[in-house]
Structure 1
Amino acid sequence: MGLLSNRVDRDSLKPGDHIYSWRSAYIYAHHGIFVGDNKVIHFTRRGQEVGTGTVLDVLLVSSGPARSYVPCDTCTPPEDHGVVSSCLNCFLAGGILYRFEYAVSPALFLAKARGGTCTLAVSDPYDVVVHRANYLLNNGFGCYNVFKNNCEDFAIYCKSGLLVLGQNTMGQSGQAVSIIGGPLAAVLSTPLRLVTTNIYGMAATAVGVYCASRVAGDIGMRKDVVKVSVEDLTRRLATGTLQVVEPSVPAVSPPPPPVS
Protein backbone atom coordinates (compact mmCIF):
# COMPACT_ATOMS: atom_id res chain seq x y z
CA MET A 1 0.00 0.00 0.00
CA GLY A 2 1.10 3.55 -0.60
CA LEU A 3 0.14 7.08 -1.41
CA LEU A 4 -1.24 6.36 -4.85
CA SER A 5 -2.69 2.88 -4.44
CA ASN A 6 -3.97 0.47 -1.78
CA ARG A 7 -3.48 -2.50 -4.10
CA VAL A 8 -2.47 -5.73 -2.34
CA ASP A 9 -1.76 -9.36 -3.17
CA ARG A 10 -4.16 -12.09 -2.16
CA ASP A 11 -1.47 -13.81 -0.14
CA SER A 12 -1.22 -10.78 2.16
CA LEU A 13 -4.90 -10.86 3.19
CA LYS A 14 -5.82 -11.60 6.80
CA PRO A 15 -9.27 -12.42 8.23
CA GLY A 16 -10.90 -9.13 9.18
CA ASP A 17 -9.39 -7.09 6.33
CA HIS A 18 -11.66 -4.52 4.70
CA ILE A 19 -11.17 -4.96 0.96
CA TYR A 20 -12.64 -3.36 -2.13
CA SER A 21 -12.46 -3.42 -5.90
CA TRP A 22 -13.22 -0.65 -8.37
CA ARG A 23 -15.83 -1.34 -11.01
CA SER A 24 -16.01 -0.22 -14.64
CA ALA A 25 -14.56 3.23 -15.34
CA TYR A 26 -13.91 3.68 -11.59
CA ILE A 27 -17.47 4.87 -11.12
CA TYR A 28 -17.73 3.16 -7.75
CA ALA A 29 -16.00 0.53 -5.62
CA HIS A 30 -17.56 -2.51 -4.02
CA HIS A 31 -16.50 -3.17 -0.40
CA GLY A 32 -16.51 -6.22 1.85
CA ILE A 33 -14.85 -7.99 4.77
CA PHE A 34 -12.46 -10.86 4.11
CA VAL A 35 -13.19 -13.52 6.73
CA GLY A 36 -10.68 -16.17 5.70
CA ASP A 37 -11.08 -19.46 3.84
CA ASN A 38 -11.29 -17.46 0.57
CA LYS A 39 -14.62 -15.93 1.69
CA VAL A 40 -15.81 -12.31 1.63
CA ILE A 41 -18.94 -11.04 3.41
CA HIS A 42 -20.44 -7.97 1.80
CA PHE A 43 -23.64 -5.93 1.66
CA THR A 44 -25.80 -5.67 -1.45
CA ARG A 45 -29.17 -4.42 -2.56
CA ARG A 46 -30.94 -7.76 -2.78
CA GLY A 47 -27.99 -9.25 -4.64
CA GLN A 48 -27.09 -6.17 -6.70
CA GLU A 49 -23.83 -4.50 -5.74
CA VAL A 50 -25.24 -1.01 -6.00
CA GLY A 51 -28.62 0.58 -6.46
CA THR A 52 -30.69 3.65 -5.70
CA GLY A 53 -34.19 2.39 -6.40
CA THR A 54 -34.43 5.03 -9.13
CA VAL A 55 -33.81 5.30 -12.86
CA LEU A 56 -30.12 5.94 -12.05
CA ASP A 57 -29.79 2.18 -11.59
CA VAL A 58 -29.70 1.76 -15.36
CA LEU A 59 -26.34 3.59 -15.42
CA LEU A 60 -24.98 2.04 -12.23
CA VAL A 61 -25.86 -1.55 -13.06
CA SER A 62 -24.50 -1.20 -16.59
CA SER A 63 -21.18 -0.06 -15.11
CA GLY A 64 -20.92 -3.13 -12.91
CA PRO A 65 -19.19 -6.37 -13.78
CA ALA A 66 -20.85 -8.86 -16.09
CA ARG A 67 -22.25 -11.73 -14.04
CA SER A 68 -21.95 -15.36 -15.05
CA TYR A 69 -25.13 -17.41 -15.19
CA VAL A 70 -23.19 -20.41 -13.88
CA PRO A 71 -23.77 -20.54 -10.10
CA CYS A 72 -20.73 -20.67 -7.83
CA ASP A 73 -20.86 -23.60 -5.41
CA THR A 74 -19.07 -21.72 -2.63
CA CYS A 75 -21.20 -18.54 -2.67
CA THR A 76 -24.48 -18.08 -0.81
CA PRO A 77 -27.51 -16.85 -2.77
CA PRO A 78 -28.64 -13.30 -1.97
CA GLU A 79 -30.99 -12.99 1.00
CA ASP A 80 -33.73 -10.42 1.47
CA HIS A 81 -31.52 -8.57 3.97
CA GLY A 82 -28.76 -8.17 1.37
CA VAL A 83 -25.72 -9.46 3.30
CA VAL A 84 -24.06 -12.26 1.33
CA SER A 85 -20.98 -14.47 1.49
CA SER A 86 -18.97 -14.87 -1.72
CA CYS A 87 -15.69 -16.40 -2.70
CA LEU A 88 -12.93 -13.89 -3.36
CA ASN A 89 -13.07 -14.46 -7.11
CA CYS A 90 -16.80 -13.70 -7.30
CA PHE A 91 -16.39 -10.65 -5.08
CA LEU A 92 -13.62 -9.22 -7.27
CA ALA A 93 -15.49 -10.12 -10.49
CA GLY A 94 -12.27 -9.81 -12.45
CA GLY A 95 -11.27 -6.55 -10.76
CA ILE A 96 -8.14 -5.62 -8.83
CA LEU A 97 -7.90 -6.24 -5.09
CA TYR A 98 -7.39 -3.26 -2.77
CA ARG A 99 -7.27 -3.00 1.03
CA PHE A 100 -8.99 -0.14 2.85
CA GLU A 101 -6.69 1.68 5.28
CA TYR A 102 -7.55 2.66 8.87
CA ALA A 103 -6.06 5.17 11.31
CA VAL A 104 -4.33 7.09 8.52
CA SER A 105 -2.86 10.51 9.15
CA PRO A 106 -4.87 13.59 8.09
CA ALA A 107 -2.19 14.37 5.50
CA LEU A 108 -2.48 10.94 3.88
CA PHE A 109 -6.27 11.10 4.07
CA LEU A 110 -6.33 14.36 2.11
CA ALA A 111 -3.65 13.16 -0.30
CA LYS A 112 -6.05 10.45 -1.45
CA ALA A 113 -8.40 12.80 -3.24
CA ARG A 114 -10.96 10.09 -4.02
CA GLY A 115 -13.03 9.02 -1.04
CA GLY A 116 -13.72 5.43 -0.12
CA THR A 117 -10.11 4.25 0.25
CA CYS A 118 -9.16 5.10 3.85
CA THR A 119 -10.39 6.63 7.08
CA LEU A 120 -9.10 8.39 10.16
CA ALA A 121 -11.05 5.92 12.32
CA VAL A 122 -9.28 3.12 14.19
CA SER A 123 -10.02 -0.53 13.43
CA ASP A 124 -11.05 -2.98 16.15
CA PRO A 125 -9.22 -6.32 16.58
CA TYR A 126 -9.57 -8.75 13.70
CA ASP A 127 -11.55 -11.35 15.64
CA VAL A 128 -14.15 -8.73 16.57
CA VAL A 129 -14.40 -7.65 12.92
CA VAL A 130 -14.98 -11.21 11.71
CA HIS A 131 -17.60 -11.78 14.43
CA ARG A 132 -19.55 -8.69 13.34
CA ALA A 133 -19.44 -9.70 9.67
CA ASN A 134 -20.63 -13.25 10.37
CA TYR A 135 -23.34 -12.03 12.73
CA LEU A 136 -24.69 -9.61 10.12
CA LEU A 137 -24.55 -12.34 7.49
CA ASN A 138 -27.16 -14.19 9.53
CA ASN A 139 -29.16 -11.19 10.78
CA GLY A 140 -28.88 -8.48 8.13
CA PHE A 141 -27.74 -4.87 8.08
CA GLY A 142 -31.02 -3.11 7.44
CA CYS A 143 -32.23 -1.60 4.20
CA TYR A 144 -29.66 -0.82 1.51
CA ASN A 145 -29.36 2.88 0.66
CA VAL A 146 -26.62 4.00 -1.72
CA PHE A 147 -26.08 7.29 0.12
CA LYS A 148 -26.79 6.29 3.73
CA ASN A 149 -26.28 2.56 4.17
CA ASN A 150 -24.16 0.94 1.47
CA CYS A 151 -21.43 -1.69 1.18
CA GLU A 152 -18.74 0.68 2.43
CA ASP A 153 -20.82 1.63 5.46
CA PHE A 154 -21.23 -2.09 6.18
CA ALA A 155 -17.50 -2.78 6.00
CA ILE A 156 -16.60 0.30 8.08
CA TYR A 157 -19.10 -0.73 10.75
CA CYS A 158 -17.67 -4.24 10.86
CA LYS A 159 -14.18 -2.79 11.30
CA SER A 160 -14.96 -0.04 13.81
CA GLY A 161 -18.40 -0.66 15.34
CA LEU A 162 -19.18 3.00 14.62
CA LEU A 163 -22.50 4.23 13.28
CA VAL A 164 -23.89 7.64 12.43
CA LEU A 165 -27.33 7.54 14.03
CA GLY A 166 -28.51 11.10 13.51
CA GLN A 167 -31.51 11.86 11.32
CA ASN A 168 -32.37 8.20 10.66
CA THR A 169 -28.94 7.69 9.12
CA MET A 170 -26.78 4.65 9.77
CA GLY A 171 -23.57 5.72 8.13
CA GLN A 172 -21.79 7.97 5.69
CA SER A 173 -19.29 6.31 3.40
CA GLY A 174 -16.27 8.03 1.91
CA GLN A 175 -17.63 7.45 -1.58
CA ALA A 176 -20.87 9.23 -0.69
CA VAL A 177 -18.99 12.13 0.90
CA SER A 178 -16.88 12.51 -2.25
CA ILE A 179 -19.92 12.49 -4.52
CA ILE A 180 -21.77 15.01 -2.39
CA GLY A 181 -18.70 17.00 -1.35
CA GLY A 182 -17.63 17.90 -4.89
CA PRO A 183 -20.82 19.73 -5.86
CA LEU A 184 -21.12 21.08 -2.32
CA ALA A 185 -17.66 22.61 -2.56
CA ALA A 186 -18.60 24.34 -5.80
CA VAL A 187 -21.79 25.72 -4.26
CA LEU A 188 -20.19 26.88 -1.01
CA SER A 189 -17.27 28.51 -2.75
CA THR A 190 -19.53 30.51 -5.07
CA PRO A 191 -20.12 33.38 -2.58
CA LEU A 192 -16.34 33.60 -2.15
CA ARG A 193 -16.03 34.82 -5.74
CA LEU A 194 -16.37 38.30 -4.23
CA VAL A 195 -13.07 37.74 -2.41
CA THR A 196 -11.12 36.90 -5.54
CA THR A 197 -11.94 36.93 -9.22
CA ASN A 198 -8.80 35.02 -10.09
CA ILE A 199 -9.71 31.61 -11.54
CA TYR A 200 -6.81 29.96 -9.70
CA GLY A 201 -7.90 31.49 -6.42
CA MET A 202 -11.46 30.29 -6.93
CA ALA A 203 -10.21 26.79 -7.78
CA ALA A 204 -8.04 26.72 -4.67
CA THR A 205 -11.01 27.83 -2.57
CA ALA A 206 -13.21 25.08 -4.01
CA VAL A 207 -10.53 22.48 -3.31
CA GLY A 208 -10.18 23.75 0.25
CA VAL A 209 -13.93 23.52 0.87
CA TYR A 210 -13.98 20.01 -0.63
CA CYS A 211 -11.11 18.85 1.58
CA ALA A 212 -12.77 20.32 4.66
CA SER A 213 -16.03 18.55 3.85
CA ARG A 214 -14.22 15.23 3.44
CA VAL A 215 -12.45 15.51 6.80
CA ALA A 216 -15.60 16.67 8.59
CA GLY A 217 -17.60 13.84 7.03
CA ASP A 218 -15.16 11.06 7.86
CA ILE A 219 -16.52 8.64 10.42
CA GLY A 220 -13.35 9.05 12.45
CA MET A 221 -14.05 12.79 12.89
CA ARG A 222 -17.83 13.10 13.08
CA LYS A 223 -19.44 14.11 16.36
CA ASP A 224 -22.70 12.23 15.72
CA VAL A 225 -21.00 8.81 15.78
CA VAL A 226 -21.63 6.19 18.46
CA LYS A 227 -20.20 2.75 19.16
CA VAL A 228 -22.90 0.10 18.83
CA SER A 229 -22.52 -3.63 19.44
CA VAL A 230 -23.62 -5.83 16.58
CA GLU A 231 -26.18 -7.54 18.80
CA ASP A 232 -27.68 -4.18 19.78
CA LEU A 233 -27.66 -3.04 16.15
CA THR A 234 -29.65 -6.02 14.92
CA ARG A 235 -32.05 -5.74 17.88
CA ARG A 236 -32.74 -2.10 17.01
CA LEU A 237 -33.29 -3.01 13.37
CA ALA A 238 -35.68 -5.83 14.30
CA THR A 239 -37.73 -3.64 16.65
CA GLY A 240 -37.82 -0.69 14.27
CA THR A 241 -36.00 1.70 16.61
CA LEU A 242 -33.36 2.15 13.91
CA GLN A 243 -34.47 2.52 10.32
CA VAL A 244 -33.00 3.44 6.97
CA VAL A 245 -35.56 4.17 4.30
CA GLU A 246 -34.85 2.73 0.88
CA PRO A 247 -35.21 5.39 -1.82
CA SER A 248 -37.94 4.71 -4.31
CA VAL A 249 -39.10 6.15 -7.59
CA PRO A 250 -41.88 8.68 -6.96
CA ALA A 251 -45.20 7.81 -8.48
CA VAL A 252 -46.11 9.77 -11.59
CA SER A 253 -49.66 11.08 -11.53
CA PRO A 254 -51.68 10.58 -14.72
CA PRO A 255 -52.46 13.76 -16.66
CA PRO A 256 -55.87 15.33 -15.92
CA PRO A 257 -58.67 14.56 -18.37
CA PRO A 258 -59.27 17.18 -21.04
CA VAL A 259 -61.83 19.82 -20.21
CA SER A 260 -64.81 19.54 -22.52
Structure 2
Amino acid sequence: MGLLSNRVTKESLKPGDHIYSWRNAYIYAHHGIYIGDGKVIHFTRRGQEVGTGTVLDLLLLSSGPSRSRETCPTCTAPQEAHGVISSCLDCFLAGGVLYRFEYAVSPALFLAKVRGGTCTLAVADHDEIVVHRAKYLLENGFGCYNVFKNNCEDFTIYCKTGLLVLDQGTIGQSGQAVSIIGGPLAAVLSTPLRLVTTNVYGMAATAAGVYCASRYAADIGMRRDVVKIQVEDLTRRLATGLLQVIEPQISMNPAHQSPLLVTQ
Protein backbone atom coordinates (compact mmCIF):
# COMPACT_ATOMS: atom_id res chain seq x y z
CA MET A 1 0.00 0.00 0.00
CA GLY A 2 2.02 2.96 -1.28
CA LEU A 3 1.43 6.70 -1.23
CA LEU A 4 1.00 6.78 -5.01
CA SER A 5 -0.66 3.47 -5.91
CA ASN A 6 -1.43 0.03 -4.49
CA ARG A 7 0.45 -2.39 -6.73
CA VAL A 8 -0.74 -6.00 -6.74
CA THR A 9 -0.07 -9.25 -8.60
CA LYS A 10 -2.41 -10.93 -11.04
CA GLU A 11 -2.55 -13.97 -8.77
CA SER A 12 -3.99 -11.89 -5.90
CA LEU A 13 -6.99 -10.66 -7.89
CA LYS A 14 -10.52 -11.81 -7.10
CA PRO A 15 -13.81 -11.13 -8.93
CA GLY A 16 -15.19 -7.74 -7.96
CA ASP A 17 -11.81 -6.00 -7.60
CA HIS A 18 -11.52 -2.43 -8.88
CA ILE A 19 -8.23 -2.38 -10.76
CA TYR A 20 -6.36 0.23 -12.77
CA SER A 21 -3.13 0.82 -14.63
CA TRP A 22 -1.22 4.07 -15.06
CA ARG A 23 -0.35 5.13 -18.56
CA ASN A 24 2.84 6.85 -19.78
CA ALA A 25 4.26 9.43 -17.39
CA TYR A 26 1.32 8.93 -15.01
CA ILE A 27 -0.82 11.29 -17.10
CA TYR A 28 -3.91 9.23 -16.41
CA ALA A 29 -4.97 5.77 -15.23
CA HIS A 30 -7.46 3.43 -16.84
CA HIS A 31 -9.92 1.71 -14.45
CA GLY A 32 -12.02 -1.44 -14.68
CA ILE A 33 -13.75 -4.22 -12.74
CA TYR A 34 -12.09 -7.63 -12.68
CA ILE A 35 -14.80 -10.30 -13.04
CA GLY A 36 -12.63 -13.42 -12.90
CA ASP A 37 -11.24 -15.81 -15.52
CA GLY A 38 -8.79 -13.16 -16.67
CA LYS A 39 -11.58 -10.76 -17.78
CA VAL A 40 -12.06 -7.05 -17.09
CA ILE A 41 -15.14 -4.91 -17.79
CA HIS A 42 -14.37 -1.23 -18.31
CA PHE A 43 -15.89 1.98 -19.71
CA THR A 44 -14.42 3.75 -22.74
CA ARG A 45 -15.17 6.49 -25.20
CA ARG A 46 -16.13 4.41 -28.23
CA GLY A 47 -13.37 1.94 -27.54
CA GLN A 48 -10.77 4.57 -26.61
CA GLU A 49 -9.56 4.53 -23.00
CA VAL A 50 -9.89 8.28 -22.59
CA GLY A 51 -11.25 11.11 -24.69
CA THR A 52 -12.77 14.58 -24.51
CA GLY A 53 -13.76 15.15 -28.12
CA THR A 54 -11.35 18.11 -28.21
CA VAL A 55 -7.72 18.80 -29.14
CA LEU A 56 -6.81 17.71 -25.61
CA ASP A 57 -7.19 14.17 -26.90
CA LEU A 58 -3.93 14.54 -28.84
CA LEU A 59 -2.09 14.72 -25.52
CA LEU A 60 -4.17 12.14 -23.69
CA LEU A 61 -4.20 9.53 -26.43
CA SER A 62 -0.50 9.97 -27.18
CA SER A 63 0.20 8.82 -23.61
CA GLY A 64 -1.93 5.72 -24.02
CA PRO A 65 -0.80 2.22 -24.94
CA SER A 66 0.10 1.40 -28.49
CA ARG A 67 -2.59 -0.68 -30.17
CA SER A 68 -1.73 -3.88 -31.91
CA ARG A 69 -3.06 -4.31 -35.42
CA GLU A 70 -4.08 -7.85 -34.51
CA THR A 71 -7.40 -8.23 -32.71
CA CYS A 72 -7.22 -10.22 -29.50
CA PRO A 73 -9.35 -13.35 -30.04
CA THR A 74 -10.60 -13.37 -26.44
CA CYS A 75 -11.77 -9.75 -26.26
CA THR A 76 -15.08 -8.35 -27.47
CA ALA A 77 -15.06 -5.56 -30.01
CA PRO A 78 -15.74 -1.99 -28.75
CA GLN A 79 -19.44 -1.21 -28.60
CA GLU A 80 -20.09 2.18 -30.20
CA ALA A 81 -23.41 2.71 -28.42
CA HIS A 82 -22.23 2.92 -24.83
CA GLY A 83 -18.52 2.16 -24.62
CA VAL A 84 -18.70 -0.52 -21.89
CA ILE A 85 -16.48 -3.36 -23.10
CA SER A 86 -14.98 -6.63 -21.91
CA SER A 87 -11.27 -7.30 -22.33
CA CYS A 88 -8.76 -9.85 -21.18
CA LEU A 89 -6.53 -8.66 -18.36
CA ASP A 90 -3.47 -8.40 -20.60
CA CYS A 91 -5.29 -6.17 -23.12
CA PHE A 92 -6.63 -4.03 -20.29
CA LEU A 93 -3.15 -3.53 -18.84
CA ALA A 94 -1.64 -2.93 -22.30
CA GLY A 95 1.82 -3.56 -20.93
CA GLY A 96 1.27 -1.43 -17.83
CA VAL A 97 1.51 -2.33 -14.15
CA LEU A 98 -1.49 -3.67 -12.24
CA TYR A 99 -2.88 -1.72 -9.27
CA ARG A 100 -5.92 -2.21 -7.03
CA PHE A 101 -8.14 0.71 -5.98
CA GLU A 102 -8.65 0.91 -2.21
CA TYR A 103 -12.00 1.41 -0.46
CA ALA A 104 -12.95 2.47 3.09
CA VAL A 105 -9.52 4.01 3.68
CA SER A 106 -8.94 6.27 6.67
CA PRO A 107 -8.98 10.07 6.19
CA ALA A 108 -5.29 10.17 7.09
CA LEU A 109 -4.35 7.67 4.38
CA PHE A 110 -6.60 9.38 1.85
CA LEU A 111 -4.95 12.77 2.45
CA ALA A 112 -1.48 11.21 2.41
CA LYS A 113 -1.93 9.93 -1.14
CA VAL A 114 0.10 11.91 -3.64
CA ARG A 115 -2.79 12.21 -6.11
CA GLY A 116 -6.40 11.21 -6.55
CA GLY A 117 -7.81 8.23 -8.38
CA THR A 118 -6.24 5.57 -6.16
CA CYS A 119 -8.58 5.24 -3.16
CA THR A 120 -11.80 6.46 -1.53
CA LEU A 121 -13.37 6.75 1.90
CA ALA A 122 -16.54 5.11 0.56
CA VAL A 123 -17.41 1.53 1.49
CA ALA A 124 -17.63 -1.06 -1.29
CA ASP A 125 -20.54 -3.47 -1.68
CA HIS A 126 -20.16 -7.26 -1.75
CA ASP A 127 -18.13 -8.64 -4.66
CA GLU A 128 -21.11 -10.55 -6.08
CA ILE A 129 -23.10 -7.32 -6.37
CA VAL A 130 -20.15 -5.54 -7.96
CA VAL A 131 -19.73 -8.21 -10.65
CA HIS A 132 -23.49 -8.22 -11.31
CA ARG A 133 -23.49 -4.44 -11.89
CA ALA A 134 -20.50 -4.63 -14.23
CA LYS A 135 -21.99 -7.44 -16.31
CA TYR A 136 -25.38 -5.73 -16.46
CA LEU A 137 -23.83 -2.48 -17.67
CA LEU A 138 -21.80 -4.40 -20.25
CA GLU A 139 -25.12 -5.35 -21.82
CA ASN A 140 -27.03 -2.11 -21.18
CA GLY A 141 -24.51 0.73 -21.12
CA PHE A 142 -23.46 3.48 -18.72
CA GLY A 143 -24.59 6.58 -20.59
CA CYS A 144 -22.35 8.96 -22.52
CA TYR A 145 -18.65 9.04 -21.72
CA ASN A 146 -17.33 12.35 -20.35
CA VAL A 147 -13.73 12.62 -19.16
CA PHE A 148 -14.66 14.92 -16.26
CA LYS A 149 -18.19 13.77 -15.37
CA ASN A 150 -18.65 10.17 -16.45
CA ASN A 151 -15.40 8.33 -17.11
CA CYS A 152 -13.89 4.89 -16.50
CA GLU A 153 -13.22 5.63 -12.82
CA ASP A 154 -16.80 6.86 -12.32
CA PHE A 155 -17.99 3.60 -13.87
CA THR A 156 -15.91 1.39 -11.60
CA ILE A 157 -16.79 3.38 -8.47
CA TYR A 158 -20.48 2.99 -9.33
CA CYS A 159 -20.02 -0.76 -9.81
CA LYS A 160 -18.32 -0.99 -6.42
CA THR A 161 -20.69 1.25 -4.43
CA GLY A 162 -23.90 1.84 -6.41
CA LEU A 163 -23.38 5.59 -5.88
CA LEU A 164 -23.75 8.27 -8.52
CA VAL A 165 -23.48 12.05 -8.44
CA LEU A 166 -27.04 13.37 -8.64
CA ASP A 167 -26.33 16.67 -10.41
CA GLN A 168 -24.96 15.76 -13.82
CA GLY A 169 -23.90 19.38 -14.32
CA THR A 170 -21.10 18.99 -11.75
CA ILE A 171 -17.88 17.03 -11.82
CA GLY A 172 -18.30 13.29 -11.30
CA GLN A 173 -16.99 11.17 -8.45
CA SER A 174 -13.70 10.44 -10.19
CA GLY A 175 -10.75 11.29 -7.95
CA GLN A 176 -8.60 11.45 -11.07
CA ALA A 177 -10.73 14.25 -12.54
CA VAL A 178 -10.79 16.11 -9.22
CA SER A 179 -6.98 15.98 -9.13
CA ILE A 180 -6.73 17.47 -12.62
CA ILE A 181 -9.02 20.35 -11.67
CA GLY A 182 -7.84 20.69 -8.07
CA GLY A 183 -4.22 21.39 -8.97
CA PRO A 184 -4.88 24.57 -10.99
CA LEU A 185 -7.56 25.62 -8.47
CA ALA A 186 -5.07 25.38 -5.62
CA ALA A 187 -2.56 27.46 -7.56
CA VAL A 188 -5.13 30.17 -8.26
CA LEU A 189 -6.38 30.34 -4.67
CA SER A 190 -2.87 30.53 -3.26
CA THR A 191 -1.83 33.36 -5.62
CA PRO A 192 -3.16 36.18 -3.33
CA LEU A 193 -0.47 35.19 -0.82
CA ARG A 194 2.03 36.93 -3.05
CA LEU A 195 0.51 40.22 -1.94
CA VAL A 196 1.48 39.63 1.68
CA THR A 197 4.46 37.31 1.49
CA THR A 198 7.23 36.24 -0.84
CA ASN A 199 7.78 33.02 1.05
CA VAL A 200 7.70 30.32 -1.60
CA TYR A 201 7.30 27.58 1.01
CA GLY A 202 4.27 29.29 2.53
CA MET A 203 2.56 29.59 -0.84
CA ALA A 204 3.38 25.98 -1.68
CA ALA A 205 1.97 24.80 1.66
CA THR A 206 -1.23 26.75 1.06
CA ALA A 207 -1.62 25.35 -2.45
CA ALA A 208 -1.06 21.82 -1.14
CA GLY A 209 -3.64 22.40 1.60
CA VAL A 210 -6.25 23.66 -0.88
CA TYR A 211 -5.55 20.72 -3.17
CA CYS A 212 -5.97 18.15 -0.39
CA ALA A 213 -9.13 19.84 0.90
CA SER A 214 -10.70 19.84 -2.58
CA ARG A 215 -9.91 16.14 -3.04
CA TYR A 216 -11.31 15.26 0.38
CA ALA A 217 -14.55 17.24 -0.04
CA ALA A 218 -15.14 15.83 -3.53
CA ASP A 219 -14.59 12.18 -2.58
CA ILE A 220 -17.62 9.98 -3.19
CA GLY A 221 -17.54 8.93 0.48
CA MET A 222 -17.92 12.54 1.66
CA ARG A 223 -20.19 14.17 -0.92
CA ARG A 224 -23.78 15.15 -0.18
CA ASP A 225 -24.93 15.19 -3.82
CA VAL A 226 -24.89 11.44 -4.43
CA VAL A 227 -27.59 8.81 -4.78
CA LYS A 228 -27.53 5.05 -4.42
CA ILE A 229 -29.47 3.47 -7.22
CA GLN A 230 -30.11 -0.07 -8.41
CA VAL A 231 -28.32 -0.88 -11.65
CA GLU A 232 -31.55 -2.02 -13.32
CA ASP A 233 -33.17 1.30 -12.46
CA LEU A 234 -30.08 3.24 -13.54
CA THR A 235 -30.16 2.08 -17.15
CA ARG A 236 -33.88 2.80 -17.40
CA ARG A 237 -33.39 6.32 -16.06
CA LEU A 238 -30.43 6.96 -18.37
CA ALA A 239 -32.50 5.87 -21.35
CA THR A 240 -35.38 8.18 -20.42
CA GLY A 241 -33.35 11.09 -19.05
CA LEU A 242 -34.86 10.73 -15.58
CA LEU A 243 -31.65 10.33 -13.55
CA GLN A 244 -32.09 13.67 -11.80
CA VAL A 245 -35.79 13.07 -11.09
CA ILE A 246 -35.02 11.19 -7.89
CA GLU A 247 -36.48 12.10 -4.52
CA PRO A 248 -33.76 11.11 -2.05
CA GLN A 249 -33.85 10.55 1.68
CA ILE A 250 -30.98 11.16 4.09
CA SER A 251 -29.07 8.16 5.38
CA MET A 252 -25.73 7.72 7.14
CA ASN A 253 -22.59 6.00 5.98
CA PRO A 254 -21.86 3.56 8.83
CA ALA A 255 -18.12 3.63 8.18
CA HIS A 256 -17.55 7.38 8.25
CA GLN A 257 -20.87 8.80 9.49
CA SER A 258 -21.08 10.91 6.37
CA PRO A 259 -24.54 11.80 5.04
CA LEU A 260 -25.37 10.09 1.78
CA LEU A 261 -28.43 10.35 -0.42
CA VAL A 262 -30.09 7.06 -1.23
CA THR A 263 -33.14 6.27 -3.28
CA GLN A 264 -36.16 4.69 -1.72
Tell me if TM exceeds 0.5. Answer: yes
**What are the superposed Cα offsets for residues 150-190 of structure 1, whole Å, 9 maximum, x if unpaired?**
00000000001111111445822011000000000111122
- Say if 1:165 and 1:171, in contact at 8 Å, map to a contact too: no
Taking the TM superposition and a 5 Å limit, the aligned residue runs for 1:147-162 are 147-162=148-163
Equivalent position amino acid for 1:22 in 2: W
Superposed, 1:1-260 pairs within 5 Å as: 1-80=1-80, 81-169=82-170, 171-242=172-243
- Paired letter, 2:32: G
TM-score (norm 2): 0.89
Instruction: Letter of the 1:142 partner, please give it.
Output: G
Query: Superposition RMSD on alpha carbons, in Å?
Result: 1.4
Q: Is the deviation greater in 196-205 or in 85-94?
A: 196-205
Q: Which runs of 5+ in 2 are unaligned?
A: 245-264
Q: Is the 8 A contact 2:23 2:29 kept in 1?
A: yes
Q: Secondary structure at the match of 1:166?
A: coil
Q: Pick 1 or 2: higher relative contact order, CA cutoff 8 A, min separation 6.
A: 1
Q: Distance in 2 between matches of 1:140 and 1:176?
A: 21
Unaligned runs of 5+ residues in structure 1 are 244-260
Alignment partner, residue 258 of structure 1: none
CA distance in 2, matches of 1:207, 1:4: 16
**CA–CA separation in structure 1 for the residues paired with 2:24 and 2:206:** 31
Q: 1:167 to 1:38 in 2, by over 3 A?
A: closer
Post-superposition CA distance 1:10-34 (Å, at most 9, x none): 0100000000001111110000000
Structure 1 segments (4+ residues) deviating >4 Å:
none
Q: How many percent of aligned residue pairs carry the same amino acid?
A: 83
Change (3 A) 1:101 1:127: same
Larger mean Cα displacement after TM superposition, 165-174 or 130-139: 165-174
Native 8 Å contact 2:101 2:118 kept in 1: yes
Equivalents in 1 of 2:188, 2:114: separation in Å? Answer: 19
| Greater C-alpha radius of gyration | 1
- TM-score, normalised via structure 1 length: 0.90
Shift of 1:240: 1.8
Aligned residues: 243
> 2:127 is matched by which residue type in structure 1?
Y
What is the SS of the residue equivalent to 2:211?
helix
The question of whether the paired residues in 2 share the 8 Å contact of 1:16 and 1:34 is answered with yes
